[in-house]
Structure 1
Amino acid sequence: MCRVQLQQLAYFVAVAEVRHFTQAAELLRIAQPSLSKQIRALEAELGASLFSRARGNITLTPAGEALLPTAKRILADVETARLEVQELAGLRRGRVRLGATPSLCAGLLGDVLRRFHDAFPGIRILVEEGGSRDLVRELTRGSLDLALVILPLHGDPPLDTTPILREHLVVASPVEPGARGDRAPAHMPRRAHLRISDLRNRPMVMFRSGYDLREATIGACRAAGFEPRFAVEGGEMDAVLRFVEAGLGIAVVPSMVLAGRPGLRGTPLVLSEAEEDAAARRGQPGPGLQRTIALAHRKDVDLTHAARAFQDTLETFLVEAALAGSLPAGVETLVTGS
């Protein structure tokens, strides 16, 4: 029978993160000999050394590397359970740890959080902004309760997903100096929409590696038979938009992030000439490049009351905003009212 204690796991994680026994003991506010004793007891229980202490350098052994993500997930789940029990005991407090993509953080998420905070002022809201792959990893580790991620998910993570939004992508380009926001710069085709092939040989501002929009843009360009040309790469959303404003290149972004940026113009994308012809016959752009956003959580952990309340608040907000016609440009809700 395994007798691993939560305290031992917490001590192990602390040492693994700082790679120093004395510093970990100071952070935990315990005596260093007591910390070392608990780590030795944990190693004895597991039958494997967790740290290599050669020449004063603390590194994780293969067994330590294997244990670390599991230990973090266990500690995160215990903390979630503690808060849930407190909430059920009527303490009127709790926590929601939410992950979201940069476009949503810059777009409609603020209004959703405002509504949730007004309804549940005692609930702490912790928001982590990041790319979809990063958020999926944090969800799986137990560091987040909910996350707004891009479908489809890579691999087969143990998550439940509920599609809630469709987000249309546009080509962001700087407006000509002195021109109104409906005029494109001289080097861009002056049409109501663009084909992916129009981006060939255009200098582009590109997001950092691992960013969902980077993968979507490069994939669409390669499907059209060319490699995109990068003028600048490696930025987050705000940096990419600022670089486009400065005239360094164009970028493919969600249309909602252009709100409040009069120096940028967003031109809808169509993927092919056939799609463009069909769009012209309809008198409107085709479906173009788009992505689906889902609300995700772990399959093996029930949502806390606070997290369920946030999900309800988000879905109600999207239904009401769609009925009122107040969703950001280029955003469609996939949530239907009950």
Structure 2
Amino acid sequence: MNVTLKQLKAFVVVAQQESFMAACELLHISQPALSIAIKNLETEVGGALFSRTTRAVVLTPEGQRFLPTAKRLLQDWDDAFIDLSQAFTLEHGILSIAAMPSFASSLVPSYLKRFRNEFPDVKIKLHDVVAEDAVQMVIDDQVELALVFEVPDVPQLDFIPLFEDKFVAAIPPALAQDCTEHFSWAQLLESPLIALQQPSTIRAQIEALLDEQGLAFDVEFEANQLATIGQMVASGLGVSAVPSLCTPLFEAQGAKCVPLQSPPLMRRVGIVTQQRKPLSVAAQSFIGQLVEKYG
């Protein structure tokens, strides 16, 4: 069926005005053009929508049933373009992002507050999941972007670096009483070591550095969430090496975080998006704010 928007508008206006002449004035078209539009519509639907007399134009029963539907279709058409326009101007829209918990609980809230202050009508969906899951959510089109540590080269992903994060030693309160202002990796490994379970890119990076230094990576406790490791360290089970982004979370749990040196270990933090996939205006604006902040 090939019904046009012009035909729908013509039908609704004629029905409301009960006059072809009045409808022509409102639609700014000639009477022959209006008559053709109505005739073509009636041909498409398979029957008369109006009963024409010398005195009036009235709807047939079929036309009466169709009128509410035609009005709704025109309103939906207008609403769709209003919604689209508002999305482009950020008067409306959705920002859907994923962030690893250490980032989501530290810096991300301030980013979102700044964005929301500028664009108060954009809805925000934040998924705080482990870094590997955050990246997978981008790949699976569940979110437009992820705020994570730099990932190994993945053909379908782009990485926009924001800043470098240094690893720190997370130590229990009892050990913190006797510690200096920083730890070496050798000092850290004198205590029971707590680490993320495999596969973990954080763990892999630590293992690679210790291998270069000729130090044994002997893990006594494992967990799959950094927050859990923070609790384990705070309870005195052992020590850990974590990104400094975790410092607020770990210290709120009772652990102590001090710089790790000899040598320092750093990792880039940034934004992961899909290659060759257009981003919404909301996502583009959010990324622009972050790049401006760290540029």
- Kept after mapping to 1: 8 A contact 2:86/2:93: no
Distance 1:101 1:298 in 2: 17
Q: Deviation digits for residues 180-199 of structure 1, max 9, x if unmatched?
A: xxx7255xxx3332222223
CA 1:195/1:304 → structure 2, altered by over 3 Å: closer, same or farther? same
Establish whether residue 184 from structure 1 lines up as the match of residue 176 from structure 2. yes
Deviations 1:55-91, CA, capped at 9 Å, x for gaps: xxxxxxxxxxxxxxxxxxxxxxxxxxxxx97753326
Asked whether the 8 Å contact 1:131–1:210 carries over to 2, the reply is no
One-letter code aligned to 2:223: G
- Other-structure match for 1:222: 211
Deviations 1:249-297 (A, max 9, x none): 111112232226263221211234xxxxxxxxxxxxxxx1110012121
Residue 233 of structure 1 aligns with an amino acid whose one-letter code is E
Partner of 2:257: 266
How many residues of Structure 1 are paired with residues of Structure 2 in the alignment?
Answer: 211
Given that 1:86 and 1:93 are in contact with CA atoms closer than 8 Å, whether structure 2 keeps it comes out as no
Structure 1 length-normalised TM: 0.57
SS of the residue 1:125 aligns to: strand
Task: Answer yes or no: is 1:88 the counterpart of 2:84.
Answer: yes
Q: 1:314 aligned to 271, 290, 295, which one?
A: 290
- Deviations along 1:147-171, one digit per CA (max 9) or x if unpaired, are 12322x3243322221111111100
Name the amino acid aligned to 2:145.
L
Report the CA distance between 1:145 and its aligned residue.
0.4
What is the distance in 2 between the residues matched to 1:293 and 1:222?
23
Amino acid aligned to 2:290: L
SS of aligned partner of 1:90? helix
CA distance in 2, matches of 1:85, 1:220: 55
Matched residues in 2 for 1:192 and 1:305: separation? 45
Structure 2 gaps of 5+ residues are 1-79
TM-score, structure 2 normalization? 0.64
Q: How far apart, in 2, do the equivalents of 1:229 and 1:196 lie?
A: 12
User: What is aligned with 1:141?
Assistant: 140
- Stretches of structure 1 that go unaligned for 5 or more consecutive residues are 1-83, 177-182, 273-287, 320-334
Q: Which amino acid aligns with 1:169?
A: F
Percent identical residues: 23
Alignment-derived partner of residue 65 in structure 2: none
Give matches, 1:227-266, under 5 Å. 227-259=216-248, 261=251, 263-266=254-257
Paired residue for 2:33? Answer: none
SS of alignment partner, residue 115 of structure 1: helix
Q: Which residue of 1 is the match for residue 131 of structure 2?
A: 132
Q: 1: CA distance between counterparts of 2:156 and 2:211?
A: 31
1:184 and 1:90, CA in 2 relative to 1: closer, same or farther beyond 3 A?
closer
Does the 8 Å CA contact 2:162/2:290 hold for their aligned counterparts? Answer: no
For 1:204 and 1:270, locate their aligned partners in 2 and report how far apart those are by CA, in whole Å.
17
Amino acid at match of 1:111: S
Match of residue 76 from structure 1? none
